[in-house]
Amino acid sequence: MRFTDMVVLVTGAGTGVGRAVARGFAGEGATVVAAGRGRESLEQTVKLIEAGGGRAAAITVDVTDSAAVARLIREIVARFGRLDVAVNNAGIFAAGAVADMPEEDWARVLQVNTTGVFLALKHEIAAMRAQGSGVIVNIASNIGAHIRVPGVGAYAASKAAVSALTRTAALENIGAGVRINAVSPGPLDTAMSLRPGETEDDRAARVRESLPIGRVGALDEITGTVLWLASDDAGFAVGLDLVLDGGASA
Ligand SMILES: NC(=O)c1ccc[n+]([C@@H]2O[C@H](COP(=O)([O-])OP(=O)(O)OC[C@H]3O[C@@H](n4cnc5c(N)ncnc54)[C@H](OP(=O)(O)O)[C@@H]3O)[C@@H](O)[C@H]2O)c1
């Protein structure tokens, strides 16, 4: 119960990693604010948390909208009194070789994955500096932040930027009591790691051949790492970009 009575924001909490991380924090005593665009999926996350005896609220937000992100943070502080932990997890994927990628796809990926994390950091840091403490974990990716893969240029650029932004913001804010780190996962057990037309069995076969560990990462494995980074157990971890990719970048 490392997060008893703490207020934790998770973006992109209606699905995949975000939902698993939200449930993890709630299971350790936090009040969780599940944020994202789709109200129904967020409310489903809240229901799952409440069914397990936890506390959560759903607030819709588009992380590319600065005014909406500012409103989200204001609402959290007004309703719950503070913001102890934020996990900036919302993100999208788009494949396409650099020479072929439509400019709109490039702009959309950068807007959600990079500007979205920048805007969240900006408003979260302001609230946390005002209260004199806080922890932020950004979800980057091993692709871009640590390895390069042909056909994934925009996503790689967007996540390399998250890694750089994490370390810069960490240095800027640790003196004010705000601790910032990132996690860079490899392929995880969510829909995002499926290639177009690929089944879970196809993915398992591909990953068995291509990833040193031979399997995708389980949601429990990323959740455990994010919770550790957000906890006092990781109190000396500042500006870390922790690669969690089954050996891909080793
Ligand atoms: N799965 C992997 O293999 C893998 C590997 C490395 C890194 N990651 C990273 O892990 C994070 C979570 O991925 P996932 O696998 O859980 O994928 P996912 O299920 O697609 O989750 C992404 C979440 O982000 C939300 N989102 C997208 N655009 C948004 C916006 N503009 N504003 C607010 N929320 C938005 C989506 O909800 P709405 O559409 O309802 O808003 C969704 O809940 C992403 O940052 C991803 O890049 C994943």
* Residue 185: predicted pLDDT: 98
Give 183's contacts (C-beta < 8 A, 6+ positions apart): 137, 138, 139, 140, 222, 225, 226, 229, 241, 242, 244
Q: What is the mean pLDDT of the chain?
A: 98
- How many domains are there within the chain? 1
Ligand 1 residue neighbourhood (C-beta within 6 Å): 11-12, 14-18, 36-38, 41, 61-64, 89-92, 112, 116, 139, 141, 185, 187-188, 190-193
Which CATH number belongs to the domain containing residue 142 in this structure? 3.40.50.720
* Residue 236: predicted pLDDT: 98
* Residue 31: predicted pLDDT: 98
For residue 224, give the amino acid letter: G
- Asked, for residue 136, whether it belongs to a domain, the answer is yes
- Asked, for residue 238, whether it belongs to a domain, the answer is yes
* Residue 3: predicted pLDDT: 98
Eight-state DSSP code of residue 152: B
* Residue 27: predicted pLDDT: 98
Q: Going by CA atoms, what residue is nearest to atom 41 of ligand 1? A: 37
- Asked, for residue 210, whether it belongs to a domain, the answer is yes
- Asked, for residue 2, whether it belongs to a domain, the answer is no
- Which of 43, 89, 115 has most ligand 1 atoms within 8 Å of its beta carbon, as the pocket-test mutant? 89
Report how far apart, in Å, the C-alpha atoms of 31 and of each of 28, 83, 125, 210, 224 are.
Answer: 9, 10, 19, 39, 18
Instruction: State the distance from the centre of ligand 1 to the C-alpha of 11, rounded, in angstroms.
Output: 8
- Asked, for residue 109, whether it belongs to a domain, the answer is yes
* Residue 37: predicted pLDDT: 98
* Residue 102: predicted pLDDT: 97
Contact 230, 135 (CB under 8 A): yes
* Residue 219: predicted pLDDT: 98
- Asked, for residue 1, whether it belongs to a domain, the answer is no
Q: What is the pTM of this model?
A: 0.98
- Asked, for residue 249, whether it belongs to a domain, the answer is no
List the chain residues with pLDDT less than 50. none
What is the domain range of residue 157? 7-244
- Asked, for residue 176, whether it belongs to a domain, the answer is yes
Rg over CA atoms, the chain: 17
Q: 90's torsion region: left (phi>0), alpha (psi -120 to 50) or beta?
A: beta
